[in-house]
Amino acid sequence: MTLSDAVLPAKGPASSTETRKKTVLSGVQPTGSLHLGNYVGALSVWVENQSQYNNLFCVANLHALTIPEAVNAAELRHNSRQVAALFIAAGIDPEESIIFIQSDVPAHPYLAWILGCCTPLGWLERMTQYKTKSAQAETIGSGLLNYPALQAADILLYKADFVPVGEDQTQHIEITRDIAQRFNHLFGECFPLPAPLTRASGARVMGFDDPTVKMSKSIAETRPGHAVSLLDDPDTIRKVIMRAVTDPGNETRFDYAQPGVKNLLVLYEVLSKEPRAAIEEKFAGKGYGFLKRELADLVIETLKPIQERYRQITTEPGYLDRLLAEGAGRASAIAERTLAEVRQLVGV
C-alpha cells in the first residue's frame, strides 16, 4: 500500500533541501500485548511507509510509568522487549529504521522537563486521555498530567516531520505542535512542527465485543472477547472474531453497515488491500457468518508470518539486546545534538 492510502495533513516547514528524506517518529507504550488495532492503526502504517522516510520507533516505557499502580517491574521489562520484537516481526527493518527503548536515551526526560516548563497547565488539563485516565484513578501522579510534554520530547528531539498514529493520538500531535511553537517563540526557532500520519480507513479499530469503544490494550486485559492480540493462536483469533458483536441484519455495504459490521469490513479492507467495491460484492447477501469466517482466515494468515518472525527474534540469543543497544546509540546521537541546541537556546 502506498502513501495515497494515508491522510497527510499540513506538512511542517521544509527544514532543508527538497531531496532530504523527511523524518518519521512514533511510539507505543509497553502496557500489554499489542492488538490488531495497534497493528492496523500504527505498525502497518510504519511498515508501508518505511522506505520513504528516516524512521525512529520507540518503546515508550517511561510513559508506562504514568499509571504507577499498573506497573510491575518484571512485566514492564518483558513487555518492553516484546513490543520491540513485535516492531521487527511486523516488518520494521532494524537496519533501515532506528528501534529503541525510550529510557535508554536520557535526553527524552531531560527535554520533557524543559518542554513541561513551557506548557500552560490549561493545555494539559484539556487532554482527553488525561481526563479519562484521571477519572478512573483514585490518586494521580503529576506524570500523567505531564504525559504530553514527554511525548512532545520524543517527537521533537528528532525534529520529526510526521508521526504515524491511530486517530486517538491526533490530539497529542496537536499539543506537540503547540508546545514546539511556544518553545520556538520563547527561546528561538528550533523545532519543525510535526504532522500526524493517519490511515484514511482503519485509524480507529473498535472492540470486537463492543463496537462503540476503541480496541484497547487495557480493556483487552480484562475482557477476552475485546481484541485479537498479535500473538494469539488461530483458534483464539477465530473464536474472538466469530463472536464479534453485530446487530441482526445482512447489510455489508461500508456506508450503511452498523458499527460492528463496519469494523469487520474495515479490517478486511486494510488487511486484504482490496478495493471497497470488490469487498462489497464479495460479501453481498452472504450473511455476517461468512464475513466473520473470511476475516478470521485473513487475520490468521496476516499474523502467521509475524508470529514466526517474533519467535525467531526472541529465541536467538543476544539478538534483540544487540539491536536495542545499537538503536539506543543511533537515537542518542541525534537526540544529544538537539538537546545541545536546546540547552544553548535556554541557557542551561
Interface residues toward ligand LTN, by CB under 6 A: 25-29, 60, 63, 151, 154-155, 163, 165, 169, 172
Nearest residue (CB) to ligand ATP, 12 versus 196? 196
Total of chain residues touching ligand ATP, rule CB under 6 A: 20
Catalytic position from the list 159, 217, 262, 292: 217
DSSP strand pairing (54-59 vs 98-101): parallel
Q: Minimum Å distance from CB 316 to ligand ATP?
A: 26
Cell of 61: 516505557
Q: Would you count residue 28 as binding ligand ATP (CB under 6 A)?
A: yes
Decide whether 176 or 332 has the Cβ nearer to ligand ATP.
176
For residue 187, the number of C-alpha atoms closer than 13 Å in the C-beta half-sphere is 18
Residue closer to ligand LTN (CB basis): 22 or 238 = 22
Q: Does 31 bind ligand ATP (CB under 6 A)?
A: yes
Give the contacts of 14 (CB within 8 A, at least 6 positions apart): none
Least distance between ligand ATP and beta carbon 340 (Å):
29
C-alpha cell at 337: 545534538
Question: Of 218, 272, 307, 314, which lies in the binding site for ligand ATP, with binding defined by CB under 6 A?
Answer: 218
What is the enclosing helix (H) or strand (E) of 132? Answer: helix 128-135
Cα–Cα distances (Å) from 43 to 127, 163, 168, 199, in that order, read 24, 12, 15, 11
The dihedral built from the CA positions of residue 301, 306, 309 and 315, taken in this order, carries a sign that is negative
Please provide residue 152's backbone torsions phi and psi, each rounded to the nearest 5 degrees: -65, -40
217 is catalytic: yes
d(CA 288, CA 284): 10
- Tell me how far apart the alpha carbons of residues 174 and 188 are, in angstroms, rounded to a whole number: 20
Binding to ligand ATP, residues 136-175 (CB under 6 A): 165-166, 168-169
Active site residue 214: yes
Residue 194 binds ligand ATP, judged by CB under 6 A? no
Binding ligand ATP by CB under 6 A: which of 23, 29, 79, 229?
29
Active site residues: 133, 214, 217
